[in-house]
Amino acid sequence: MLAHLGKLVGNALAPLTGAVARLRRSRMFHPDGVVYSAEVHALESAPDLRALGERLSGETLSRFSSAWWKQGHEWPDVLGLALRFGGERGDQDLLLATVRFPFTTPVAPLGTRFTSFAWNHFHAVSPFEADGVGRIKLRLRSPRLGRRDSETREQHLARLAEERRAAWLIEARRLEVPFFKRRWEPFAQLELTAPDERVDQAALHFSPFNDRRGLVPVGFVHHLRIGTYASSQRARLATHG
């Protein structure tokens, strides 16, 4: 029911997202960002989560961005992180932001340290059905590293990657257990290796329905993205020829 409603609302909003993307000559949200090559490694955890961590392990493409402002503007905002497991042509995408629940989106900038990509936890706002695990929510737990006063947000991230300190724990929270028994369980780690400037960001697009490593999106928000993302992508491709 929620998935069907999400598709309907997404289709209704698609003309708006396409128009804004055409006007901005970029995505409506997360218009530009910085792209890094990364590696994911499975951690010791419960057997079912260990298997999920192993499926996600290996080369990963990561894109960090501000939700509304383009590069050069460090103003209050939500920060985003998009992952593609398997590299640029990978087979599982994961979209995260400094928003814990959909209903907290309007106030999320107040809880985001927008001056550092490495300070905030990144949440996949809607749940997934994970093969062999069940329904879960996901987040990347931050190392909580602030930047130097002389650095930009992007320079800070580049330095941490060079120092091999740009690493996040990938954690799952099981939704099929009683509420008071739910906890975040780390099962893998993402580590940035180097900036990847070869990627054409105008052509790059992510979808939670690129799910061939067993993280299947469920719920209203995921399905809302189907129509809106497709409209934005078409507008960007038309704009960039």
Q: What does the pLDDT read at residue 89?
A: 77
Mean pLDDT of 134-150: 95
Q: How confident is the model at residue 183 (pLDDT cuts 50, 70, 90)?
A: very high
Strand partners for 137: 173
Contact of 122 with 168, CB cutoff 8 Å:
yes
User: Regarding predicted confidence, which is higher, 103 or 28?
Assistant: 103
Per domain, the residue ranges of the chain are 34-223
Is it the case that residue 240 has pLDDT exceeding 60?
no
Q: Tell the CATH topology of 34-223.
A: Catalase HpII,  Chain A, domain 1 (2.40.180)
- 32-84 pLDDT, tens digit each: 799 999 999 999 999 999 999 999 999 999 999 998 877 778 889 999 999 99
Contact of 31 with 21, CB cutoff 8 Å:
no
Q: What does the pLDDT read at residue 10?
A: 58
What predicted TM-score, i.e. pTM, was given to this entire model?
0.89
Most confident of 8-12, 71-75, 168-172: 168-172
